[in-house]
Structure 1
Amino acid sequence: MFDTQANEDAAPIERGEVADAVAKIRAAAHWGDIAAQAIYARMCCEGRGVARDDAEGCHWYALAANSGHVEAMNMLGRCHELGRGTPQNAELAAVWYRKAALGGLDWGMYNYANMLATGRGVKPDRAGAVAWYRRAAEAGHAKSMNLLGRYYEEGWEVERDPTAALDWYRRAAHGGDFRGQASYAGVLAQQGRIDEAVQWLERALEAGTPSFLEKLGDELECAQDAPLRAIGTRMRAHAAAMISATLNESTGTR
C-alpha cells in the first residue's frame, strides 16, 4: 500500500510513480485480477492514491468477494455492517462475515462471532460466538483472545475458569490488543501486581481509542492504588487531546 504522508509521497508523485502504480492496479482489476480488485477496493475506501469513494470500493470488494477472495468477503461484510458505500444491512454483513470465517480468515471469524454474540443480522447464538472466537484466537487473532478470556472470566457459555481467562488475556496483551492489555492489567492489579499492571496500562494508553481511554480512565481514577489513579488521569487527558486534535483537523484549525 502507499504511504499517505505528504513529505514521503511528494517525490514519487512528482515522478509519476504512484500514479503509474495506481493505473496498473486499476487496469489489473478491470481485467479480472481478483487480488488487484481487492487492493483497488481498499485504495478507494481509504483514499490511497485515488479520491476516496466508498461506493466504488464496495463495488470492487463485491467483485473480488464473489470470486472467492476471503479478505474481500470480510471487507464487504464491513461495508454492509457500517453502511459504507452501500445501504446498511446487518443480515448481508453476517452472510459475508460467515463466508470469510468459513474461508479460514481470522478477522471473518471474529466479525461473525460478534454478530452471533449480539444477534445483529442473525439469531443470537452466544455458544456459536464463543466457538468462532476460539477458532480465531487459536489462529492468533488478538482481539478474539481477549473476548475468549472474557467468556472464561464471566462463565459465559463455558465453565468459569479464571486461570484460562488470565492466559487468554495474557496472550491478547502480548498480541498487541489494547483491550487485552487492559484486561490483563486488571487481573494483575487484582492480584496485587500493581507495577506489572501499570506497565500494561502504559501500552494500552499508547494504542487505545479516545472513547476506550476515557472510560477506562474514569474507572482507574477511582482505584485504591495511586499508580493506577495516576495513569487513569493520564488516559483521560490523552483521550481529550486526541478528540481535540481530531476536531481541529476536521475544522482546519490548529
Structure 2
Amino acid sequence: MNDDIFVGNEDGLVNGNNESIVHCGGNIYSPNISAFALPEDGKINHSASAAAVMEDEINCAAEGGDVRAQIELACSNLKGNGKPLDHAEAFRWYREAAELGNCHAQFSVGFMYLEGLGVPRDYKQAFFWFSMAAEQGDASAQANLAWLYEHGIGVPQNDAEAIRWYRLAAINEDPYAQLSLGLMYLRGCGFPQNPSAAYVWISIAAWNGVAEAEDEQEKLEQAMTPDQISLAWQRAKACISSGYKDCADI
C-alpha cells in the first residue's frame, strides 16, 4: 500500500479524497406510513407536501435520538439530495449517532476528522472514533486504525498493533487490509520477513479483486519455488473457503 490515506467503504478501502466512503447504506430511516395519505391504489403520495411530512418526521425522530434518522440526515447533508452540501451539519448528525454507539456513525466521524470534512482535521480524534468503531467489529474502521498505527498518525507508531488490526480487518473481509497485512509480512515490520504468509494474504486480496495485489503477487512468485507457491496458495484457498475462519495461524 502506498502512503496515501486510505479509508473504508462498503466495498473495501478507497482513496481518502472520495467523500462517499462514509457509511450511508443500510440505516435509512422509514417514517410511519400513517403520515402519508394513501390513494385507492395503495401507493404512497410522493407530492411535495408528502416529502415535507417525511422530512419533518425524520428531523423530529433525529432530535428525539433515533439513530437511523440521524444517519439519514447526515447522509442527506453529505450528498446534498437537491440541497447544498453541508459537511458541518452532516458531521453534527454523525456525531450524535456515534455518541449513541452506532459503529457506522463512529467510523464516519473518524473519517471526517481524518479528512477535515465539516470539522477541523484532528488525527487524535480520528484515532479515537476509529478505535470505537473497530472495537465493535467495523472492518473499515479496523483497517483505518491499523493504517494510523502503521504510520504513527494520531498515535505512536506501533507495528504490532498495526498487524493486529490489519489481521482483524482482513478476516472481516476487507480486501485492502488483506493486501496491507501481506505487505507488512513481506517487509518484516517488527518481526522477521515471512514471504509465505505475505503470499497468502496478497493472493487473497488479489482474489478479491485488488489490482495492486495482483502485481505484488507476480513479484513474489519470482522469488518463490513452485512448491512454496503451491503450499501458500492452498493455505489461501483454505482461508477463503472457510469464510475466513481458518486463517488464525497466518
Q: TM-score, normalised by structure 2?
A: 0.64
Where in structure 2 are the equivalents of 1:182-197 lying within 5 Å?
Answer: 182-188=215-221
Match of 2:161 in 1: 128
Question: How big is the shift at 1:47?
Answer: 2.3
Structure 2 vs 1, CA of residues 131 and 58 (structure 1 numbering), >3 Å: closer, same or farther? same
Does 16-25 or 142-151 show the bigger shift?
A: 16-25
What pairs with 1:78-117 in structure 2 (closer than 5 Å)? 78-117=111-150
- Provide closer, same or farther for how the CA distance between residues 127 and 191 of structure 1 changes in structure 2, counting only shifts above 3 A: closer
SS of structure 2 residue aligned to 1:85: coil
How far does residue 79 in structure 1 lie from its aligned partner after superposition?
0.9
In the superposition, relative to structure 1, how do residues 28 and 183 fare at CA in structure 2: closer, same or farther (>3 Å)? Answer: farther
Name the structure where helix makes up a greater proportion of residues.
Answer: 1
SS in 2 for 1:72: helix
Q: C-alpha displacement at 1:177, in angstroms? A: 3.0
Letter paired with 2:194: D
What is aligned with 2:208?
175
The separation in 2 between residues aligned to 1:192 and 1:47, in whole angstroms, is 54
- Output the amino acid matched with 1:180: A
Deviation of 1:35 after TM superposition, in Å, equals 2.1
Q: Give the equivalent residue in structure 2 for 1:38.
A: 71
- Using the alignment, how far apart are the partners of 1:51 and 1:90 within structure 2? 27
How far is 1:69 from its partner? 0.4
Are 2:81 and 1:65 aligned?
no
**Alignment partner of 1:139 is 2:172:** yes
C-alpha contact (below 8 Å) 1:74/1:108 kept by paired residues: yes
Q: Do the aligned residues in 2 keep the contact of 1:18 with 1:49 (CA within 8 Å)?
A: no
**CA shift for structure 1 position 68:** 0.1
The one-letter amino acid of 1:159's match is P
Q: How far does the alpha carbon of each residue in 1:74-102 deviate from its partner, in whole angstroms, 9 at most, with x for none?
A: 11011111110001111111111111111
CA contact (8 A) 1:94 1:115 kept: yes
Cα shift readout 1:196-241 (whole Å, capped 9, x = no counterpart): xxxxxxxxxxxxxxxxxxxxxxxxxxxxxxxxxxxxxxxxxxxxxx
Residue 156 of structure 1: how far off its partner (Å)? 1.2
- Give the Å deviation of 1:24: 4.6
Distance in 1 (CA, whole Å) between partners of 2:61 and 2:137 is: 26
What one-letter code is carried by the residue in structure 1 that aligns with 2:113?
A: H
Identity, % of aligned pairs? 29
Secondary structure of the residue aligned to 2:173 is coil
Partner deviation per Cα, 1:163-214 (whole Å, 9 max, x = no partner): 2111111111222334334433443576799xxxxxxxxxxxxxxxxxxxxx
1:19 Cα deviation after fit: 6.8
Unaligned segments of structure 1, at least 5 residues: 3-13, 194-254
Is there any run of 5+ residues in structure 2 with no aligned partner, and where?
Answer: 1-23, 26-45, 227-250
**Residue 220 (structure 1) aligns with:** none
Amino acid at match of 1:157: G
Give 1:157-236 correspondences, 5 Å limit. 157-188=190-221
Q: Distance in 2 between the 1:184 and 1:21 partners?
A: 51
* Alpha-carbon separation, structure 2, partners of 1:39 and 1:147: 32
Provide the aligned length of Structure 1 versus Structure 2: 184
The amino acid of 1:139's aligned partner reads N
How far 1:30 sits from its partner (Å)? 2.6
Q: CA deviation at 1:162?
A: 1.5
Displacement of 1:50: 4.0
Q: Which amino acid aligns with 2:203?
A: R
Q: Secondary structure at the match of 2:149?
A: helix
Tell me which of 42, 54, 74 is aligned to 2:87. 54
Conserved 8 A contact 1:43-1:49: no
RMSD: 3.0
Contact 1:79 1:85 in 2 (8 A): yes
